[in-house]
Structure 1
Amino acid sequence: MKKWLCIVGIGEDGLAGLGEAARAAIDGAEIMVGGDRHLAMLGDDKRPRLTWDNALHATVAKLAKFKGQRVCVLATGDPMSYGIGVTLCREFGAESCRVIPHQSAFSLACARLGWPLAEVDCMTVHGRPLGRLNRHLRPDARILILSGDGNTPKEVAAALRAAGYGDSKITVLERMGGPMEKRHDGTAKAWRRKCGDLNTIAIHCAAGPNAPRLMRSAGLPDELFQHDGQLTKRDVRAVTLAALAPAPGELLWDVGAGAGSIAIEFLRAEPTARAIAIEQSSKRAGNIRANGENLGVQKLQVIEGAAPAALKGLARPDVIFIGGGVSDRKVLNACWRALPSGGRLVANAVSMEGESQLFGFMRLKGGGMKRIEISHLDAMGDLHAWRAMRPVTQYRGVKT
């Protein structure tokens, strides 16, 4: 199929900064598409123009009507780095699109700061929750953020202070690559400046003495989760995440999710994955949403309802964890039916009834079981002794 849609990245230096291929694509287009700022760079151009609607899908629908004509979309920097190129390639297919990237804001920022791009966390908060920053916070991490507007640096600084990272260094780079480029430096604890709308934020994280250590490996401290006691405890959670083995693009069902700790750590371990947390208690469902926001995950959906009824109509999972409800054979059977061939099921039980159900299920479906027993050292007067947690029986199976 002929590539009829060309997506050209353009920088603050306008047409003068484009290479021959990009200029040829613009010159040969019949219809130009972009924001007002980008289209203004074309000057007095008589060709038909299409600007972005507030509802992006509306403009995408209009683009579809031009299929077969030579359409050129102007986009900021690298269109495939949190840009419109991702949406258009997904909508029309890579076979219809030609992408000519310019320097990304991330590349330009690293060039200004002397940072190795491969060692930097890159993210955007443009049209996305600021809470996603929390997934990246850890001592000495370097983070680059595409801003939403001129207020974003202040909001980021406030979030860093609230998280115990007030000593972090912040650099805001405005309109990089053009004649109006500016740089502002400071720390999160002192930052109050409003910047220009077109800016990129660089953070060099410095954790305060009381900042929680938010590693990406499984097993976050229990106190980081809002919960009412229904929580897969830290050590058991680490073992459970190892059994679930998150992989790119997978969908997890967390059935009987409690505080949502399994789903949240699944997403922290693999940010391209998705998770659906199923929880019948509305209060706990609220905790799951708050925990997801506080710990910076995305693609987390919360369903209020009891399994197995609440599972009907959900997107088909690749992997399922059952943390609540294993004593009900109907829940186990419904989850197993929902899995595709090769899908994985992990279930934890603490009661004898739940363990009995898992054992019977294993005999029918195959798989294996483990017992997880954890003890913590505890004071006993002037002495010390081991205090045992309730053992957890874990089932692991793969559907064939």
Structure 2
Amino acid sequence: MSADPWLTIVGLNEDGPDGLAPASRKALADAEVVMGASRHLTLLSDLSAETIEWPVPFANGIPLLLDLRGRKAVVLASGDPFWHGAGAIIAQHLSPSEWRTLPAPSTMSLAAAALGWPLESTLTMGLHAAPFSDLRPHLSEGQRAIITVRDGGAVSNLANWLSSVGFGRSTLHILEALGGPRERIRQTRADESQPVDIQHPVSVALEFFGGSTIPLANGRPDHLFENDGQITKRPVRALSLSALAPQTGEHLWDIGGGSGSIAIEWLLAHPSCQATIIENDKTRAARIAQNAANLGAARLNVVVGAAPDALSDLPLPDAVFVGGGISDEMLTYLWENLPEGTRVVANAVTLEAEVLLATWHEQKGGDLLRVELAHANPLGRKRGWKSSYPIVQWSVTK
């Protein structure tokens, strides 16, 4: 990276120029032009450089910034520009030699310092542009989180959402203008009325209490997934996900989504995992999307269509689960179009599908597993075993 790039991204907290490091002060003193949000420019009212207010939406400011090439420029960003900030977006449009960054303490660092919370064991999330349901997998008694929110009104929306999922006893620490003369910290409960005079910028520190926790292990309870009876039940789902073996950053195709439970649990394995469901029934597809949103997996891509036709324009996966509509045509398409190394897991219930999987197993190898489950049920005044349909599972790496 060049020692003297034309652009410097300066992190700025609410203490304005008083909290700037010497390198940041020098960058501003040497700048010909400074770009930033109106609030940031107001904090540095004694600037001698030309100032440009960054427009809304944020993307509209990128062309303005790029037009400044050849001039000494500074962009002002909140705190650490590379923690849910502008830095990563700006850097995508520049070569490494064109920019440098001088970060200030992030909102998370300021919040942890104010509350005395160990940051390394506290969940941190940026929810100013993401749904509150992203928190759902993390809601657990006594756990803590620090999140950014869009504005003061979002605090009430967050509190209402927490109450709606059973965590109304959670404590909210409302953190306003941290690090500056307007700093204010107030404490409420999610099931209480929230202040109406919350000032921007605002973040919220949370201590979760009440409600039910989503387990971390594969095979979450069936009742978490709204369904019309088409669902891979918990024990078989756990076995299927074990065979699919999700890894960091991988993409799953789930063909014949049903309730979406396989793809949703794949996404819950790691925040970098991606998944696409192909579901022919529009009602089920809408239900799948809602299940994903409710369980903190709103990034699930739901494609309404019939496989294999609906597969042709999709990004290639690392793993494929076939839970419905299995056919020789489907397996042939997958084998001809998937790259080597792709993992395929297919479940069969009918005799015809069993024969199909047995044939493909003989030709292509892999593992063939037969799963027979029985649950204890009342039988008169006593109990007996009620068997479910056996499942045959074929798992193979192409």
TM-score (norm. length: structure 2):
0.93
Partner of residue 345, structure 1? 344
Q: CA deviation at 1:349?
A: 1.6
Change (3 A) 1:365 1:175: same
User: Does the 8 A contact of 1:273 with 1:299 survive in 2?
Assistant: no
Q: Structure 1: which amino acid aligns with 2:86? A: I
User: Does the 8 A contact of 2:14 with 2:43 survive in 1?
Assistant: no
**Counterparts of 1:359 and 1:82, CA distance in 2:** 49
Residue 313 of structure 2 corresponds to residue 313 of structure 1:
yes
Q: CA deviation at 1:163?
A: 0.8
Partner of residue 107, structure 2? 105
User: Does the 8 A contact of 2:188 with 2:194 survive in 1?
Assistant: no
**Counterparts of 2:331 and 2:70, CA distance in 1:** 51
Partner of residue 375, structure 2? 376
Q: CA deviation at 1:229?
A: 0.8
List gaps (5 residues or longer) in structure 1.
Answer: none
Q: Structure 2: which amino acid aligns with 1:20? A: P
Q: What is the count of residue pairs matched by the alignment?
A: 395
**Counterparts of 1:96 and 1:373, CA distance in 2:** 62
Q: Structure 2: which amino acid aligns with 1:273? A: C
Partner of residue 269, structure 1? 269
**Counterparts of 2:59 and 2:67, CA distance in 1:** 13
The 3-state SS of whatever aligns with 1:268 is: helix
Residue 47 of structure 2 corresponds to residue 66 of structure 1:
no
**Counterparts of 1:354 and 1:51, CA distance in 2:** 63
Q: CA deviation at 1:343?
A: 2.1
Partner of residue 121, structure 1? 123
Partner of residue 207, structure 2? 204
Q: CA deviation at 1:164?
A: 0.9
Q: Which of 158, 161, 183 is the equivalent residue of 2:185?
A: 183
Instruction: Summarize deviations over 1:357-389 as a string: whole Å, max 9, x none.
Output: 222223333322222333222221221122222
Q: CA deviation at 1:80?
A: 1.2
Partner of residue 81, structure 2? 79
Partner of residue 32, structure 1? 34
Change (3 A) 1:350 1:83: same
Change (3 A) 1:389 1:89: farther
Instruction: Summarize deviations over 1:219-239 as a string: whole Å, max 9, x none.
Output: 221111111111111121122
Instruction: Summarize deviations over 1:308-342 as a string: whole Å, max 9, x none.
Output: 0111111121221111122x122223233443332
**Counterparts of 1:359 and 1:67, CA distance in 2:** 63
Q: Structure 2: which amino acid aligns with 1:108? A: L
User: Does the 8 A contact of 1:161 with 1:189 survive in 2?
Assistant: yes
**Counterparts of 2:338 and 2:36, CA distance in 1:** 43
Q: CA deviation at 1:284?
A: 0.3
The 3-state SS of whatever aligns with 1:354 is: helix
Q: CA deviation at 1:96?
A: 4.1
Instruction: Summarize deviations over 1:175-200 as a string: whole Å, max 9, x none.
Output: 11111111111211223323223211
TM-score (norm. length: structure 1):
0.92
Q: CA deviation at 1:14?
A: 1.0
Q: CA deviation at 1:44?
A: 4.3
Q: Structure 1: which amino acid aligns with 2:41? A: L
Partner of residue 323, structure 2? 323
Change (3 A) 1:308 1:172: same
**Counterparts of 2:93 and 2:354, CA distance in 1:** 47
Residue 331 of structure 2 corresponds to residue 359 of structure 1:
no
**Counterparts of 1:95 and 1:266, CA distance in 2:** 38
**Counterparts of 1:292 and 1:172, CA distance in 2:** 28
**Counterparts of 1:16 and 1:128, CA distance in 2:** 32
Partner of residue 92, structure 2? 90
**Counterparts of 2:182 and 2:22, CA distance in 1:** 25
**Counterparts of 1:345 and 1:13, CA distance in 2:** 55
Q: CA deviation at 1:353?
A: 1.9
User: Does the 8 A contact of 2:37 with 2:55 survive in 1?
Assistant: no
Q: Structure 1: which amino acid aligns with 2:355? A: S
**Counterparts of 1:67 and 1:390, CA distance in 2:** 67
The 3-state SS of whatever aligns with 2:291 is: helix
**Counterparts of 1:149 and 1:361, CA distance in 2:** 56
Partner of residue 162, structure 1? 164
**Counterparts of 1:100 and 1:363, CA distance in 2:** 60
Once the two structures are overlaid, the 10-residue window that deviates more, 5-14 or 126-135, is 126-135
Q: Structure 1: which amino acid aligns with 2:324? A: G
Q: CA deviation at 1:215?
A: 2.1
Instruction: Summarize deviations over 1:90-144 as a string: whole Å, max 9, x none.
Output: 3435554322221111111111222211211111221222222223212222111
List gaps (5 residues or longer) in structure 2.
Answer: none
User: Does the 8 A contact of 1:319 with 1:339 survive in 2?
Assistant: no
Q: Structure 1: which amino acid aligns with 2:203? A: T
Q: Structure 1: which amino acid aligns with 2:345? A: V
Partner of residue 42, structure 1? 44
